[in-house]
Amino acid sequence: MPDFLDLKDPRDGSLGMPSLATIEAVRTAAGDAVTFSTAIGDAAYEPELYAQRAINAALAGADIVKVGLKTVSAEQASWFFAAIRRALNARAPYTRLVAGFYADLMDENDLKKLPAAAQSAGVWGCLIDTFDKVGKRLGHYYGPETLAGFTADCRGRGLKSALAGGLTESDLLWLDEAEPDIVGFRSAVTRGARHESGIDPKKAADIFFAVDQLNGQPTLL
């Protein structure tokens, strides 16, 4: 069993929320030793709705809940996440909150405002992803310097940082320089690209090998 499990429903968007029954089933199957995160949707400015989703997911067994800002502006972000954090504090205070931002829906100037907004709202970590899963990859929207600046800002504020969005083995060099805490690979390690056909063991092994080579460590398979 892995150390972390991350759950979402890609049929319902980039950070689509799975059913509560699915969240509960995964929690039961994984056991308490696994840190379990789940998405709760691509959000409009409806803080009460997403606060309730966060509570429901937490009570179903999620340790971490992630919500993406689809049509929530950078100026609204702090109020939006603070509302979710307050709701979690009342019902599930140990649940961590991840703020998701989409590179294809947000320009660099707005992106720079978001770590401060997340920190003020009591967010645990920040994710940059892409909303359009058949379009360009993360690196087409922001350059390595921008992404490294974002992760450094997160670190300086005590926030975890995560990068995702069509990442492949070829992105590892600049990812290593950007130093995110978490990197998300999906199409790079699954059968049939973005189709949900399960993990391809060879693709996954190739990514592990490339990471270990980058770190100067032997790969044990």
Active site residues: 8, 66
CA-to-CA separations, 23 to 61, 80, 115, 130, 177, in angstroms, rounded: 7, 24, 28, 23, 34
Question: Among 48, 34, 113, 110, which residue's Cα sits nearest to residue 82?
Answer: 48
107 token code pair: 């320009």
Phi, psi at residue 67, to the nearest 5°? -135, 135
65 token code pair: 């809940």
133 token code pair: 């899963």
Length of the chain: 221
Side-chain half-sphere exposure of 124, counting CA atoms within 13 A: 18
Q: How far apart are the first and last CA of the chain?
A: 15
Three-class secondary structure of residue 14 per DSSP: coil
What b/e string do you get for 77-105 counting C-beta neighbours within 10 Å, with b at 16 or more? bbebbbbbbebbeeebeebbbbbbbbbbb
CA pair distance 25, 22, nearest whole angstrom: 5
